[in-house]
A and B are shown apart, each in its own frame.
Chain A
Amino acid sequence: MTPYIIRRVLWLIPVLLVVSIVTFGLMHTAPGGPWDRDSDQKPLPAHIIARLNKQFNLDKPIHEQYLLYMWGAVRGDLGPSYSQPGKNVGELIADRIPYSARLGVQALFLALLVGLPLGVIAALRQNTWVDYLALFISTIGSAVPSFVLGIYLIIIFAVGFDLFPVAAQGEEAWRDPRAWVLPTIALAVGPAAYIARLTRSSILEILRQDYVRTARAKGLRENVVVVRHVLKNAMIPVWTVLGPITAGLITGSFVIEQVFSVPGVGRFFVSAITQRDYSMIMGTTLFYALMIALGNLIIDVTYGLFDPRIKVSK
């Protein structure tokens, strides 16, 4: 087990290296620089650009810039932001993490809270209208993109019924728990639908197993069979997809954050893109990639703990 974990952790290094090289390379092939102004503004004088370039190491050859950047990143220093002078990218991201994390965790819990029971009920009532309804809902839930869903939630519940703020502006507005309701739902529906479908098929598969027949044959009550033998085993595949689901929540969040103007990391990323703030883009991309890789790592490592049949020692 331990060598496996070590190998998995070490595998993070090449992954993050490739992600950083690709992002860094792409950002620097972009024509124009962070000091370009819109055409209606006066361009910055050449000597100021030269000084800025020197200050941000942009006058050095690209591989040197990359190494300098990575050396900083390893020590936790993601460099200064180009668009917000005097601020450090790491600090800027850290300021936004609580918002994104809260949104993501809430959505994950909501998805499990809705998806699991829906899948269980559908499987236990297979081929009845309950099952078909649950399947239909989950197909729609997984097919409709979250941002379209978010927009509809806003139009119906915020514009139409005026139950929630349309888009809470400023950090103060996000103290109000009501502001979180719609974005959480919008982000949770997709994963909830996925969990429901997976739970359903996983339970149906296990209901066919011999040990379930044995449990029934020895006269166990149906409740006991379902809870102790079926549900416990059906949770294993669900656990394994939590990795990809977490990744989906992380990348899904920046669209939802944009729709609901949540002041999280994702919204920051989008504004960094439009402002061509290279260091912000690099910083958030590395942060996202690390989060996704860590999420998958935790799921894969704990997988063995839940299922004694699987030995993760290869």
Chain B
Amino acid sequence: MAVTAPAATPKGLVFENTRKPRSLWRDALRRLMRNKMAVASAIVILLIAFLAAFASFLPLHPPVEYQSRENDPGGGGTRLPPFWQEGGNSKFILGTDPSGRDVLSRIIFGAQVSLMVGFIPVAIVVAIGLLVGMTAGFMGGRVDMLLMRFTDVVYAFPDLLFIIIMLSALRGTALYNILDGLLLIFVSLSVIGWVGMARLIRGQVLSLKEKEFIEAARAIGMSNRRIMVSHVLPNSLAPIIVAATFGVPGFIISEAILSYIGIGVRPPRPTWGGMVQDGYSNINAAPHLVWIPAACIAILTLAFTFLGDGLRDALDPRMND
């Protein structure tokens, strides 16, 4: 999770202290490991990721199947309370929901959605952002102008609003049928998200372009493409990593909101936001059906925020004074 950085030191980086040739990334990793909140957060994220990845192999009840009656011979209602309440059943630690589905299993399978929605759009956003940002920063001129004007307009458009409109418009299309609508969510989240990333990378390129080592590279006849790949990219990696880490909780929250208002991932695939929505009408009788998934959303977004804070502090030593 942490900085699995390129092993090589970015070429051309000017070290003031030449006696200790430690790499920038190794230093950053060391600083990150000293940050207890960041390390704890990374562990929480890895744990959730592990559970989500191997959910199908864990001894869980199926998340979308009606469970209660056969396990609840006395059975009054279809909802089984969690184990700490009267009538709880150790087979269903968190009980079942009013449709008789195992809550624990839905929570763990729900983590799959949150993590995918956290990572995949971020990867798309970084890829597009790199392409556009680097081009705009390096070319300048008309490409750059176009990007800046475009971002101005996008910034005026509330992103969540746009995502909602796009999702509701494309819900009837074939796109919505792929992966229970997840693909459409990835696309809608990335369509706007890349703009901020492109702007950040453009700024990085612009400031690096004037540095001496780039000038030196150009003087020895390096091509633009090589300068970008081997000098500009590694040197702008730190802010990109930080921005990407902070982007993850934003996407997770957006998906949770979308599923909560009922236009996100298609039921019955379990999502945390969808579980909050399902349990909401019953909040007086069974608050745990709401607070458990809500807590999961909070824990995962908090973990990414603390990790992002840690990465920012670790990668930018100037912040430490």
* Chain B at the A interface: SS class: helix
Is the pair A30, B305 in contact by a Cβ cutoff of 8 Å? Answer: no
A273 to B258, CA, bound (A): 12
Tell me if B160 counts as interface (CB < 8 A to partner A).
Answer: yes
Is the pair A145, B298 in contact by a Cβ cutoff of 8 Å? Answer: yes
Known: A29-B169, A159-B284, A270-B261. A148 touches B298 (CB 8 A): yes
Contacts of B263 in A (CB 8 A): 273-274
Number of interface residues of B (CB under 8 A): 42
Tell me if B152 counts as interface (CB < 8 A to partner A).
Answer: yes
Of all chain A residues, the one with the shortest Cβ separation from B153 is: A18
Known: A155-B283, A159-B284, A293-B156. A144 touches B165 (CB 8 A): no
Tell me if A92 counts as interface (CB < 8 A to partner B).
Answer: no
Among A14, A140, A155, A274, the one with the most B-chain Cβ atoms within 10 Å of its Cβ is: A155
Per-position contact with A for B170-184: 1 when CB-CB < 8 Å, else 0? 111100000000000
Of all chain B residues, the one with the shortest Cβ separation from A15 is: B156
Contacts of B283 in A (CB 8 A): 154-155, 159, 166
Of all chain B residues, the one with the shortest Cβ separation from A36 is: B172
A59 to B301, CA, bound (A): 47
Contacts of A255 in B (CB 8 A): 257, 260-261
Is the pair A292, B158 in contact by a Cβ cutoff of 8 Å? Answer: yes
Known: A26-B165, A255-B260. A31 touches B276 (CB 8 A): no
A18 to B195, CA, bound (A): 16
Task: Identify the stretch in A108-116, A281-289, A305-313 within 8 Å (CB) of chain B at 4 or more residues.
Answer: A281-289
Is the pair B161, A285 in contact by a Cβ cutoff of 8 Å? Answer: yes
Is the pair A281, B165 in contact by a Cβ cutoff of 8 Å? Answer: yes
Tell me how far the C-beta of B120 lies from the nearest C-beta in chain A, rounded to whole angstroms. Answer: 20
Tell me if B186 counts as interface (CB < 8 A to partner A).
Answer: no
Of all chain A residues, the one with the shortest Cβ separation from B297 is: A148
Per-position contact with A for B281-299: 1 when CB-CB < 8 Å, else 0? 0011001001100110110
Besides A30-B169, A147-B256, A258-B261, 10 new A-B residue pairs in contact (Cβ under 8 A), listed by A number: A18-B157, A26-B166, A139-B306, A139-B309, A148-B295, A151-B280, A166-B284, A247-B158, A273-B168, A276-B168
Please list the residues of chain B having a beta carbon within 8 angstroms of any beta carbon in chain A: 152-153, 156-162, 164-166, 168-173, 249, 253, 256-257, 260-263, 276, 280, 283-284, 287, 290-291, 294-295, 297-298, 301-302, 305-306, 309
